[in-house]
Amino acid sequence: MNPALDVSSATEQVVPEHKLRCGPSRFDPGGGGVNVSRAIRNLGGNSIAICPLGGPTGQAYRGFLEQEGVLARVVGVAGNTRESFTVDELSTGDQFRFVLQGPTLREPEWRACLSVVGDVLPVGGYLVASGSLPPGVPDDFYALLARICGEHDVRIVVDASGPALEAALDQRVFLIKPSLRELAELVGAGDTLDEADQVEAARAIVAGGRAEIVALSLGGAGAMLATADGVLRLPTPRVEVQSTVGAGDAFLAGLVLRLAEGRTVAEAFRTAVAAGSATAMLEATGLCRAEDVARLEARLAAAPA
């Protein structure tokens, strides 16, 4: 619902009050849901990306979607699609990420997004609702989607935070992918959770019927996945990290794609962790490559439980 044209570049050093000369720029159609679609395509799957776009930035965004071969249903809006930009500081290896606010959507515009979803619902399949909600879109937007999915045998996957996630969970969803901080907020545990508390918190959400699966990506500390059948953990494969932008979206793409293909939860979880790490290997806002994911999956399969 809040796509962003991702702009990335690099400069020698980030300092205040100076013009910072950057190297070559890269442009990608970003935002949670679209990144999931892009990663699914890279892994050989098919999906439909749905997003509101407007203004000159939105027009450019459409062009980049077409270049990547992403099948999309676009809802035209009056506001100008936002940009986000990432700058790598070459002298230190630090990365600076600036996320701009999206345009304000009017009620007819966000309701049009609901209508498009209704037109292309993958009955028996999956709908991924991912990313922040722009101004003007109500906090219960993902909850409205969850209600629609519940009426049409569609499993909804929500990657959101705050009130939008809370409202969706009240409607019961198939899967959520909170960060560690977001999971702590959901269970009222303050800023963080230790390993035992992570398991307890995820199990409580599942046991309460709010989500069938809780997937928790922990960066370099690995990942955890909880279902009614138990808890799975996997380490993060050792890779040279170039950029973490989009790694969580790739994780989700690998997980949902494999589940849609009929793989077991354990198999899907392995692909998810590999896809997240394969994305972190790439510079700027690039997303996982299938050959890298396959290589990392094999490494995870050989790792001790």
For the segment 203-229, what is each residue's pLDDT rounded down to a tens digit?
A: 999 999 999 999 998 888 889 999 999
* Tally of helices (H runs) and strands (E runs) in the chain: 10, 12
- E strand or H helix at 56, and its extent? helix 55-68
Answer yes or no: are the C-beta atoms of 237 and 274 closer than 8 Å.
yes
Q: Model confidence over 230-249: pLDDT tens digits?
A: 999 999 998 888 888 889 99
Please give the pLDDT value at position 204. Answer: 93
Please give the pLDDT value at position 303. Answer: 60
229 is catalytic: no
Answer yes or no: are the C-beta atoms of 149 and 268 closer than 8 Å.
no
Quick one: how far is CA 252 from the chain centroid? 6
Please give the pLDDT value at position 302. Answer: 65
Residue ranges and CATH numbers for the domains of the chain are 4-14+21-301 (3.40.1190.20)
Answer yes or no: are the C-beta atoms of 86 and 61 closer than 8 Å.
no
Per-residue pLDDT, averaged over 1-22, amounts to: 95
Answer yes or no: are the C-beta atoms of 234 and 302 closer than 8 Å.
no
Q: Model confidence over 257-303: pLDDT tens digits?
A: 999 999 999 999 999 999 999 999 998 778 999 999 999 999 987 66
Per-residue pLDDT, averaged over 30-56, amounts to: 96
Please give the pLDDT value at position 305. Answer: 44
Q: Amino acid letter at 215?
A: A
Please give the pLDDT value at position 189. Answer: 77
Angle, helix 141-150 to helix 107-119, in steps of 10 degrees: 20
Q: Model confidence over 91-142: pLDDT tens digits?
A: 999 999 999 999 999 999 999 999 999 999 999 999 999 999 999 999 999 9
Instruction: Report how far apart, in Å, the C-alpha atoms of 34 and of each of 1, 159, 219, 265 are.
Output: 9, 12, 21, 23
Cα dihedral sign for 46, 48, 53, 59?
A: positive
Please give the pLDDT value at position 220. Answer: 83
pLDDT at 190 over 60: yes
Mean pLDDT computed over every residue of the chain: 94
CB neighbours of 79 closer than 8 A, spacing ≥ 6?
54, 55, 102, 103, 104, 105
Please give the pLDDT value at position 285. Answer: 79
Q: Is 247 exposed, middle or buried (0-12, 13-18, 19+ CB in 10 A)?
A: buried
Please give the pLDDT value at position 157. Answer: 98
pTM (2 d.p.): 0.93
pLDDT at 304 over 80: no
Q: Model confidence over 163-176: pLDDT tens digits?
A: 999 999 999 999 99
Q: pLDDT > 70: what percent of the chain? A: 98
pLDDT at 147 over 70: yes
Q: Amino acid letter at 189?
A: A
